[in-house]
Structure 1
Amino acid sequence: MTTVTNTAEPANGRRRGPSMADVAREANVSGQTVSRVSNGRENVDSETRERVLAAMRKLGYRPNSAARALRSGRFHSIGVIMFTLSSFGNMRTLDAIASAATDAGYSITLIPVPHPTLGEVSVAFDRLSEEAVDGVIIVVEAHLLDESDVELPAGLPVVVIDSTASDRYPVVDTDQAHGARLATEHLLGLGHRTVWHVAGPERSYSAAGRRASWEATLRTHGADVPPVLVGDWSSESGHELGLELARNPEVTAIFAANDQMALGVLRALHESGRAVPGEVSVVGFDDMEESRSFWPPLTTVRQFFGEVGSRSVEALVHEVEGGEPRGTTLVDTELVVRDSTGRPPR
């Protein structure tokens, strides 16, 4: 009795997918030619390439990316370590990173950091050694990367967004200082004697940059530097601090470190009977899409999150593909003047 084994139907009941040999037979070419097409090699004429691609489509063949990575030494994958997925800026940046990575032929592996502590960041870095990535983009919005205990896997290309990194890694960031200067000078230019500041969290790198620039700008123009009020980026904290500012009749101009806190400040001023901009002017930072729908529409500093994300991918791919690591890239900001600012009351 002869037993016939169906090679396309293994004993476990799973039908195997089409192989490179199947594609070669269908296209009437060698296996080496199929391999060249799978790996994007240029030494295949266009007619043959199209015949191989047509055979792949017909049979449903997909090149083995793991095997290809072993041969090339690359996985065409980028790791992204990110603190908080809830903030407007981080989500816009992540969206831009994903789009730019796709355009460059890379996928992304996201590793969230729930809390901005050294331990959480170290755990995220440790996980990188288990992931098949060619490099990593770090978006940790806190002063953590200068800690001596934080080490990345040796030889792994790294680009940092919106954080400190000493001189160890390339950095892509919004020009925080320029944006805060634009906001502060706008209010001083309207005739306000000084500008009060609702800052972001003290451990935040971007908040620290905006706060330092606000203070330096006031000093440059000979204006008094009022006490800083520190929030947590939320509209709730902006509301709480806004109520405190609303009780002070000397407050005529407020620069909030992000639009969400500015929204809370606007609500507090309204509840306290302080007219905006008739009695108090308010400027935010971000230019989130809803800012034009605040009442009054918010004057704010526009960040170009898409450009920050795309430039970070560009810098990382440049290094992954053999280029020298780049230095610091600052993406400019722009002041968007709307109806929440005006001249101080007489």
Structure 2
Amino acid sequence: MRRVSIADVAARAGVSGQTVSRVVNGSPRVLDSTRARVEAAMAEIGYRPNRAARALRTGRTQTIGLVVATLAAAENSRMLEAIAESTGARGYALTVVTIGQEGLGRAFERLEDQGVDGVIVLNEASPSLSNVILPRGARVVGVDAAPMPGMTSLETDHLAGARAATEYLLELGHATVWHLGGPAASHTARAREEGWRAALHAAGIVDPAVVRGEWTASSGYAAASELREATAIFCANDQMALGALRGLAEAGRRVPEDVSVIGFDDLDDASHYQPPLTTVRQYFDVLAERAVAALVAEIEDGVPMPERIVVPAILAVRASTAPVAHRPVLG
């Protein structure tokens, strides 16, 4: 049976073969109406792009590599899902590697061996970037990574989001806000801590000592014992906030009557915590789309990638926070 070709699609859609090729490769240089006509023709006659042939013709594999430290973190799993959707929508494959004990350098070597066209490096894997020489001409986007030469830095505005969360707790009448922070080596943890401090200092408040966790619910639960004097807690992610909610409950502290709690991320389950969690919303789908779009624009059309992209975050207010005046007087 003869394989359906680009020429067949072009004849059915009434366009040139070059236009079909641009649609197949996800190029932005095609009108939406033309793209829709070509895609309809592909579906009608059953055209499937030949990835191997295209790689030989263009020198591109239409594969993007994703480097992560771990997929156990809910934020990383959510980003993986969003990046897979974005690459798939453009006809790209996604190859995922974890740095494990081999380190980031070996992860890049493995991806280079597979001929990926670009690489996305997620948060916890990024501290190792400073010790790695990027392959010459490599297209790399660091998501929530500290900026470095030769790489596009893409991140949520963690500082502004953390500052907004802290300011909101102060507006509710709390005398200070405690912080359950992430790992000290994490770029995002440091940025969120900086936003928390900035809000307190702007209000003339000396910041309490940071209680540090490891992004997990279990570390948040363990940290709750150090937060029993707090009336307001800003947690660096939702998972630690979940653990802290349990720890506070077991200590007889009610949320939000005795203590207000805010998280960061707005994971899918955050609105189903008990009580529903006030949190800073990250737009994982926007982060993924911007990362993949920057890579594809350079891969397909030679559009230089920007040095830095910042995505806003917003505060989603739910039932885990309340004004101090609403707390009952004890004794």
> TM > 0.5 between the two?
yes
The residue number in structure 2 matching 1:100 is 86
CA separation of 1:137 and 1:53: change in aligned 2, threshold 3 A:
closer
Show structure 1 runs of 5+ residues with no match: 1-17, 28-35, 43-48
The answer as to whether partners of 1:83 and 1:141 remain within 8 angstroms in 2 is yes
Structure 2 Cα separation of the partners of residues 135 and 66 of structure 1: 17
Structure 1 Cα separation of the partners of residues 97 and 177 of structure 2: 39
Deviation at 1:320, TM superposition (A): 1.2
CA separation of 1:139 and 1:320: change in aligned 2, threshold 3 A:
same
Which of 255, 260, 267 is the equivalent residue of 2:239? 260
Structure 2 Cα separation of the partners of residues 53 and 328 of structure 1: 37
User: Are 1:81 and 2:67 an aligned pair?
Assistant: yes
User: Are 1:210 and 2:192 an aligned pair?
Assistant: yes
Deviation at 1:39, TM superposition (A): 7.4
Where does 1:193-232 land on structure 2 (aligned, <5 Å)?
Answer: 193-232=175-214
Moved more, 63-72 or 132-141: 63-72
Which of 159, 167, 171 is the equivalent residue of 1:189? 171
Deviation at 1:179, TM superposition (A): 0.9
Q: TM-score, normalised by structure 2?
A: 0.83
User: Are 1:170 and 2:152 an aligned pair?
Assistant: yes
Deviation at 1:224, TM superposition (A): 2.0
Which of 285, 297, 303 is the equivalent residue of 1:318? 297
The structure whose residues are more often helix, as a share, is: 2
Deviations 1:205-226 (A, max 9, x none): 1111101111111111111210
Deviation at 1:143, TM superposition (A): 5.0
Structure 2 Cα separation of the partners of residues 98 and 54 of structure 1: 22
CA separation of 1:323 and 1:260: change in aligned 2, threshold 3 A:
same
The residue number in structure 1 matching 2:252 is 273
Structure 1 Cα separation of the partners of residues 234 and 43 of structure 2: 60
The residue number in structure 2 matching 1:288 is 267
The answer as to whether partners of 2:127 and 2:186 remain within 8 angstroms in 1 is no
CA separation of 1:66 and 1:143: change in aligned 2, threshold 3 A:
closer
Deviation at 1:165, TM superposition (A): 3.0
The residue number in structure 1 matching 2:11 is none
State the one-letter code of the partner of 2:294.
A
The residue number in structure 2 matching 1:14 is none
Show structure 2 runs of 5+ residues with no match: 9-16, 24-37
Q: Secondary structure at the match of 1:141?
A: helix
Q: Secondary structure at the match of 2:103?
A: helix
The residue number in structure 2 matching 1:301 is 280
The residue number in structure 2 matching 1:327 is 307
CA separation of 1:334 and 1:221: change in aligned 2, threshold 3 A:
same
Structure 1 Cα separation of the partners of residues 203 and 95 of structure 2: 47
The residue number in structure 2 matching 1:343 is 323
Structure 2 Cα separation of the partners of residues 320 and 140 of structure 1: 23
The residue number in structure 1 matching 2:223 is 241
The answer as to whether partners of 1:142 and 1:203 remain within 8 angstroms in 2 is no
Give every structure 1 segment of 4 or more consecutive aligned residues whose post-TM-superposition deviation is greater than 3 Å.
Answer: 36-39, 52-57, 61-64
The answer as to whether partners of 1:128 and 1:153 remain within 8 angstroms in 2 is no
The answer as to whether partners of 1:233 and 1:261 remain within 8 angstroms in 2 is yes
State the one-letter code of the partner of 2:107.
A
The residue number in structure 2 matching 1:123 is 106
Deviations 1:175-233 (A, max 9, x none): 10111011100100001111000001111111111011111111111112101011011
Larger radius of gyration: 1
Moved more, 92-101 or 174-183: 92-101
Structure 2 Cα separation of the partners of residues 63 and 264 of structure 1: 47
The residue number in structure 2 matching 1:113 is 99
State the one-letter code of the partner of 2:273.
F
Structure 2 Cα separation of the partners of residues 82 and 190 of structure 1: 38
The residue number in structure 2 matching 1:5 is none
Q: TM-score, normalised by structure 1?
A: 0.79
The answer as to whether partners of 1:97 and 1:309 remain within 8 angstroms in 2 is yes
- Output the aligned Cα RMSD: 2.7
CA separation of 1:53 and 1:273: change in aligned 2, threshold 3 A:
closer
State the one-letter code of the partner of 1:194.
T
State the one-letter code of the partner of 1:198.
L
Structure 2 Cα separation of the partners of residues 220 and 343 of structure 1: 20
Moved more, 253-262 or 71-80: 71-80
The answer as to whether partners of 1:78 and 1:135 remain within 8 angstroms in 2 is yes
